[in-house]
């Protein structure tokens, strides 16, 4: 009996000691700044596999492999291709818009292969419009006429359409980001000022690549200009035209002709009033269209004044419209300037948008042919016929 009692005491004592050892925690352990710092008291020796797991770091390549494995398991889904969006207008034989169509009425083909339509929006969906105004010198229109026509254009858009206003001379000015606040838009338009230089290509580049590409939904650029560029350095016509093939927005140039005015100024010396300084050409901010000597007589530079410059301007604007599905509207008077803006506002209410994801065979930077068909008789379909696969 005594032996049993002694054994029980020994067992109880060992259990209590073991429980006490397991319950102890380090006191006043030094801070190491690491979330996984070791305790001050000795810890059980880990197995070799556990030790390796505790200190092993994951390299970027191993992380990518892990991500790929997760994707294979259905846990992570990545889409490497960009959505291709195509604005489409459907008209009858009298050029009257046909509304009320649905996704089922359309088929899209890329390189003659039918694509699954992943996005569809009808003519009721809002637009984001970039109104881009050339503020270089022109006697064709006065600044008040330009502002009045632009405001009339805004008034014909729908309340939920958004507008950003951009003006350019030698520099590009973002006067307001996309907004549906009409007062802000009016104020931006009224703040425009005539100046010198024409950085048309840089303005178009900024609007396409830094602004509209970040915006989802239906988009358009309304470009008021004569098409002649004289001061762009960071972009050129070919880069604009190339980027237009990747752009999912319509481009509507409103083109006015300054050739006769420029020739008259080119051949007739201009006298600057005494006391008005003449800046150097690269920073020309004078109220005159060309640099002229202070208090003297000067002849404008030939840059941007030749028949070849104007021929190139016309081709550039036509190609920008053609590549995006828009059209060029000539403006030779205040009346048809207002009519051009009115026609564009009307057309923007008459477009559908179709979107699809191109196949993996679509190589970035390559041009792809596109065809849109509608299952309606006696209709005309207007849409871009190609695009360039984005490299992003």
Identify whether residues 280 and 144 lie together within a single domain. Answer: yes
In a domain, 1, yes or no: no
pLDDT at 79 over 90: no
Identify whether the C-beta of residue 19 lies closer than 8 Å to the C-beta of residue 11: no
In a domain, 203, yes or no: yes
Identify whether residues 102 and 210 lie together within a single domain. Answer: no
**Averaged over 79-101, what is the pLDDT?**
84
Is the model more confident about 174 or about 141? Answer: 174
pLDDT at 217 over 70: yes
In a domain, 66, yes or no: no
In a domain, 50, yes or no: no
Q: At 267, is the pLDDT very low, low, confident or very high (cuts 50, 70, 90)?
A: low
CA distance 43 to 62: 30
pLDDT at 189 over 90: yes
pLDDT at 8 over 70: no
User: What pLDDT is stored for residue 302 in this prediction?
Assistant: 65
pLDDT at 263 over 90: no
**Averaged over 232-245, what is the pLDDT?**
95
Identify whether residues 110 and 128 lie together within a single domain. Answer: no
Residues 6+ apart with CB under 8 A from 346: 156
Is the model more confident about 91 or about 269? Answer: 91
Q: Residue 133's beta-bridge partner residues?
A: 167, 224
In a domain, 221, yes or no: yes
Q: Residue 355 is encoded by which pair of tokens?
A: 């979107």
Identify whether residues 240 and 379 lie together within a single domain. Answer: no
Identify whether residues 355 and 263 lie together within a single domain. Answer: no
Identify whether the C-beta of residue 311 lies closer than 8 Å to the C-beta of residue 227: no
Range from 7-21, 103-117, 200-214, 292-306 carrying the lowest mean pLDDT: 7-21
User: What pLDDT is stored for residue 35 in this prediction?
Assistant: 39
CA distance 200 to 312: 13
Long-range contacts of 161-165 (CB under 8 A, 24+ apart): 161/126, 161/127, 161/128, 161/129, 161/348, 162/126, 162/127, 162/128, 162/129, 163/128, 163/129, 163/130, 163/131, 164/128, 164/129, 164/130, 164/131, 164/207, 164/211, 165/131, 165/133, 165/189
Please tell me the total count of domains within the chain.
Answer: 2
User: Taking Cα atoms as reference points, which of 192, 143, 147 lies closest to residue 169?
Assistant: 192
Is the model more confident about 358 or about 19? Answer: 358
Longest dimension (CA), the chain: 132
Write out the residue range of the structural domain in which residue 310 sits. 124-349
Residue with tokens 């190339």: 242
pLDDT at 248 over 60: yes
User: What pLDDT is stored for residue 139 in this prediction?
Assistant: 61
pLDDT more than 90, % of the chain: 53
Identify whether residues 116 and 217 lie together within a single domain. Answer: no
CATH for 300: 3.40.50.410
In a domain, 182, yes or no: yes
pLDDT at 355 over 60: yes
User: What pLDDT is stored for residue 363 in this prediction?
Assistant: 79
Average pLDDT, the chain: 77
pLDDT at 46 over 90: no
pLDDT at 279 over 50: no
Is the model more confident about 254 or about 282? Answer: 254
Identify whether the C-beta of residue 353 lies closer than 8 Å to the C-beta of residue 384: no
pLDDT at 38 over 60: no
Where does 205-257 show beta strands of DSSP type E?
A: 218-225, 250-255
User: What pLDDT is stored for residue 323 in this prediction?
Assistant: 92
Q: At 264, is the pLDDT very low, low, confident or very high (cuts 50, 70, 90)?
A: confident
CATH for 92: 2.60.40
Identify whether residues 229 and 88 lie together within a single domain. Answer: no
Identify whether the C-beta of residue 157 lies closer than 8 Å to the C-beta of residue 348: yes
**Averaged over 328-347, what is the pLDDT?**
94
Give kind and range of the element (H or E) at residue 119.
strand 119-121
Identify whether residues 309 and 207 lie together within a single domain. Answer: yes
- Displacement of CA 56 from its chain's centroid (Å): 43
In a domain, 8, yes or no: no
Q: At 268, is the pLDDT very low, low, confident or very high (cuts 50, 70, 90)?
A: low
pLDDT more than 70, % of the chain: 69
Q: What is the DSSP string of 127-143?
A: EEEEEEEE-B--SSS-H
The CA-CA-CA angle for residues 82, 88, 89, to 5°, reads: 170
**Averaged over 217-222, what is the pLDDT?**
94
CA distance 324 to 353: 13
pLDDT at 98 over 90: yes
CA distance 254 to 330: 6
Identify whether residues 128 and 220 lie together within a single domain. Answer: yes
pLDDT at 80 over 60: no
Identify whether residues 241 and 284 lie together within a single domain. Answer: yes
Neighbours of 252 (CB within 10 A): 26
User: What pLDDT is stored for residue 352 in this prediction?
Assistant: 93
In a domain, 249, yes or no: yes
Identify whether residues 222 and 360 lie together within a single domain. Answer: no
Q: At 303, is the pLDDT very low, low, confident or very high (cuts 50, 70, 90)?
A: confident
Identify whether residues 299 and 355 lie together within a single domain. Answer: no
């Amino acid at each position: 009996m005594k032996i049993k009692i002694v054994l029980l005491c020994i067992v109880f004592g060992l259990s209590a000691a073991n429980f006490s050892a397991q319950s102890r925690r380090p006191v006043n352990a030094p801070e190491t700044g690491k979330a996984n710092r070791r305790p001050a008291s000795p810890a059980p020796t880990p197995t070799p596999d556990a030790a390796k797991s505790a200190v092993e770091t994951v390299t970027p390549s191993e992380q990518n492999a892990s991500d790929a494995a997760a994707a294979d398991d259905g846990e992570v889904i990545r889409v490497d291709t960009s959505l291709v969006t195509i604005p489409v207008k459907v008209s009858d034989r009298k050029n009257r818009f046909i509304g009320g169509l649905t996704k089922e009425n359309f088929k899209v083909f890329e390189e003659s292969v039918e694509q699954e339509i992943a996005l569809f929006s009808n003519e009721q969906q809002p637009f984001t419009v970039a109104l881009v105004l050339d503020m270089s010198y022109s006697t064709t229109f006065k600044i008040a006429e330009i502002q009045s026509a632009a405001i009339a254009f805004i008034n014909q858009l729908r309340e939920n359409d958004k507008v950003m206003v951009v003006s350019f001379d030698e520099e590009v000015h973002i006067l307001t980001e996309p907004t549906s606040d009409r007062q802000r838009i009016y104020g931006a338009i009224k703040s425009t000022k005539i100046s010198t230089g024409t950085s048309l290509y840089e303005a178009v580049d900024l609007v396409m690549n830094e602004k509209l590409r970040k915006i989802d939904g239906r988009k358009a650029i309304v470009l008021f200009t004569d098409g002649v560029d004289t001061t762009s350095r960071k972009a050129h016509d070919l880069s604009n035209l190339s980027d237009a093939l990747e752009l999912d927005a319509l481009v509507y140039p409103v083109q006015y002709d300054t050739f006769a005015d420029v020739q008259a100024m080119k051949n007739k010396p201009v006298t600057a009033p005494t006391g008005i300084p003449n800046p150097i050409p690269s920073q020309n901010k004078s109220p005159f269209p060309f640099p002229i000597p202070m208090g003297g007589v000067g002849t404008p530079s030939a840059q941007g004044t030749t028949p070849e410059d104007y021929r190139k301007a016309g081709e550039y604007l036509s190609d920008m419209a053609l590549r995006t599905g828009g059209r060029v509207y000539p403006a030779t008077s205040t009346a048809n300037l207002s009519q051009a803006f009115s026609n564009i506002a009307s057309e923007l209410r008459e477009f559908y948008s179709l979107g699809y994801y191109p196949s993996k065979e679509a190589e970035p930077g390559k041009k792809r042919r596109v065809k849109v068909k509608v299952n309606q008789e006696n209709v005309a379909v207007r849409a871009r016929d190609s695009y360039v696969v984005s490299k992003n």
